[in-house]
């Protein structure tokens, strides 16, 4: 006879996400903005696992120590509450919702790979989830409901008092107001990333690098998104994707998924949409098309053939829409009739350099 597994009623009223069976990985990349109710998630369980999304309405203490030191510390100081394999569920008496990381100041423990670490575990919070009771662990074991009790509310101040010595101190974030630059230009690659997203909450790593949570789909650990302001490019560690301003506009405006961002990621319609949005919202201007009367030859065009340069680096088609560039070799000019992007040899060389670094 088949055993019926139910999601504990104590979790009713919380938010959930779909998780792959025998895994801890979410089904959907944008699970933070695509949550399910208690009733909705039961359509997928137990054929799939499910996640309990944490935040101000629920916290989960996740103990990674071999001797379950975090659990012991909790049990010695707080009343009993609902407990699942590896997780203790409770709420705080305030709205504090950030994730808390525990590190021992002097001791080290072997992690799952046998490597010594001072990391003890986490108190899951905003933009995180834990695999729910009744789900199947990668080992085949069940996330067993150890204590079928109501979820209690505890004092946040007492929690900090009890766990304070092992709470990892956060690096100070560099908070920057989102003030767009006065940039105006006709090359989408030149739009500063600071014109597209806010730097609020990002950590300044120095040398032009900033890192923090992804501005669109969030982050499990708060550090899955990096910007290089020197090269004006970005990278998402979760999706293993990235690019420059055009790809970021595509992701932020919902034209493409972050998972798809990268070289030649746009269809012709998507490329047209990105260009239109960049002109409407991010300061992109329409360049003048190449005219017959271009005046005297100046600068690099005296010695460099833009046509030969394009062929050498296999860059004869527009990097946004894929249509062929129109070249005026005598004056070192390029222009895309479809996207209306263009410029001179200097801009073209910069495009080649940026593209080669992203490959």
- CATH fold group of domain 188-281: DNA Primase; Chain A (3.90.580)
Answer whether 147's CB lies under 8 Å from 82's CB. yes
pLDDT tens per residue, range 258-309 = 988 998 898 888 888 898 888 888 888 876 554 445 455 455 555 678 888 8
Q: What phi-psi label fits residue 216: left (phi over 0), alpha (psi between -120 and 50 degrees) or beta?
A: alpha
Say whether 188-281 and 9-166 share the same fold: no
Please check whether the domain covering 9-166 is classified as CATH 3.30.43: no
Q: What is the pLDDT of residues 36-73, one digit of tens each?
A: 999 999 999 999 999 999 998 999 999 999 889 999 99
* Structural domain boundaries in the chain: 9-166, 188-281, 299-358
CA angle 267, 273, 278 (to 5 degrees): 125
For the chain, where are the alpha helices, taking DSSP H only?
A: 38-41, 69-75, 156-163, 193-196, 245-252, 268-281, 306-312, 345-358
Whether the pLDDT of residue 88 is over 60: the answer is yes
Rounded average pLDDT over 205-231:
85
Q: How far apart are the first and last CA of the chain?
A: 55
């Amino acid at each position: 006879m088949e055993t019926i597994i139910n999601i504990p009623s104590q979790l009713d009223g919380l938010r959930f996400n779909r998780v792959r069976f025998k895994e801890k990985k979410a089904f959907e990349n944008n699970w933070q903005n695509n949550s399910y109710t208690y009733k909705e998630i039961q359509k997928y369980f137990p054929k799939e696992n499910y996640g309990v999304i944490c935040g101000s309405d629920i916290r989960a203490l996740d103990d990674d120590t071999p001797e379950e030191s975090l659990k012991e510390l909790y049990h010695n100081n707080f009343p009993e509450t609902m407990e699942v394999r590896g997780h203790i569920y409770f709420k705080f008496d305030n709205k504090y919702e950030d994730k808390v990381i525990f590190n021992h100041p002097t001791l080290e423990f072997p992690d799952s790979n046998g490597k010594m670490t001072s990391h003890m575990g986490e108190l899951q919070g905003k933009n995180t989830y834990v695999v729910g009771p009744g789900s199947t662990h990668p080992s085949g074991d069940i996330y067993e409901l150890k204590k079928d009790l109501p979820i209690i509310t505890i004092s946040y101040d007492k929690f900090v008092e009890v766990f304070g010595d092992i709470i990892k101190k956060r690096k100070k974030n560099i908070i920057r107001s989102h003030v767009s630059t006065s940039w105006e230009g006709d090359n989408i690659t030149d739009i500063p990333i600071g014109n597209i997203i806010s730097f609020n909450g990002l950590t300044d790593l120095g040398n032009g690098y900033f890192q923090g949570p992804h501005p669109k789909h969030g982050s499990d650990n708060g550090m899955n998104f990096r910007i290089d302001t020197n090269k004006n490019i970005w990278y998402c560690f979760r999706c293993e994707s990235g690019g420059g301003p055009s790809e970021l506009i595509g992701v932020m405006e919902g034209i493409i998924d972050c998972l798809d961002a990268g070289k030649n990621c746009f269809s012709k319609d998507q490329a047209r949409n990105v260009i239109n949005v960049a002109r409407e919202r991010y300061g992109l201007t329409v360049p003048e098309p190449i005219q017959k009367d271009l005046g005297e030859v100046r600068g690099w065009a005296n010695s460099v053939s833009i046509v030969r340069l394009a062929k050498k680096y296999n860059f004869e088609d527009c990097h946004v829409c894929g249509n062929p560039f129109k070249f005026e070799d005598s004056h070192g000019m390029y222009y895309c009739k479809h996207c209306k992007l263009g410029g001179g040899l200097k801009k073209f060389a910069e495009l080649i350099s940026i593209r080669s670094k992203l490959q």
